[in-house]
Structure 1
């Protein structure tokens, strides 16, 4: 396992960021890491949020990882858990839901109103701290996610290829993936599965099973085609 991990880490760090080759190697590495035993668990309801933040951090920082004895695998797990435990600790902090915005109004040294983003040092500047660089990266990634999200929403609404409407339980053509995606994902607040099932005269279990087994994989495939990476 150490040899396989070392090979994938080397492959990720060999390619420029961003590049398609690096992203492919990174996806393989993350899939392998997620199967390793020892990743810290938590019963907190928002644990997956902390875990996702950890994978994003690993994606950015993997080339700074330094293996120590007794094995690369154990060192990697310790390294990942070190960050993950802090993110879980944040979940128990009262202010952990505070959203840090780079567009938040502030004032520069001259007293003029501006945004935090505008007064950040240039990312090419050698004086820029790693924390500020991380903020810059986070902002770019969030903008990319929002852009992809808008395109996926538009795809769901239009379904020009008919992929979503074509996927439905055999005895209920009205319960297709486009309708479910609109009701469960697009509309705000989302509808309850029980209400949709009652409206379509279908059992909760059948509807949920179709959503989980057919609609979600289909939507995941569409999202990946638009550039979304888990």
Structure 2
């Protein structure tokens, strides 16, 4: 599908559920999708794809908001405008697809879950379900909430790594482009184990320029954290 056709289909999908479904099904036919997918995720592609198609179908209205695109004013016959819409759409789909591949991988590799109908200690013993019956509803609610938090965490991780709109990379002091919010987020949140501001300051310090620990801390607290909160709300997090 060429840039102009994809651009037009995306615009129509914002107003038509049928077109949104057509757009979702077209994902598998976009050559960039498999080309950009890391080799480690490719074994999970076939199982993750229906999940990604469903998410794109349901959440297509979030796409232009995330990339600050006014698709009503985009000229899909203009090669540069159509190409930009395509780049943004591919980036958005890849973020969702990687998250879904991660879900599939985790499900495939997770330990066996014991059924609540299995007995504990022999035939005459209580089942697990009977044992925890009093707390079953509360536990179920907690489990659902925990899954939602984990889903958001995965989306945020993908967003930080991709930074599709360069909002994190472009948020830095005028006199130090290296102290950007993408780098700080990667260092302070995503590294295993995460670094602290003092360690980050040491890493960024060069013979020509010293980065104080307080500078890293202030930048993180006053600029990066508020920006990450905005992005989290855009991804569906509710305070």
> What TM-score do the two structures reach when normalised by structure 1?
0.45
Higher relative contact order (CA 8 A, sep 6+): 2
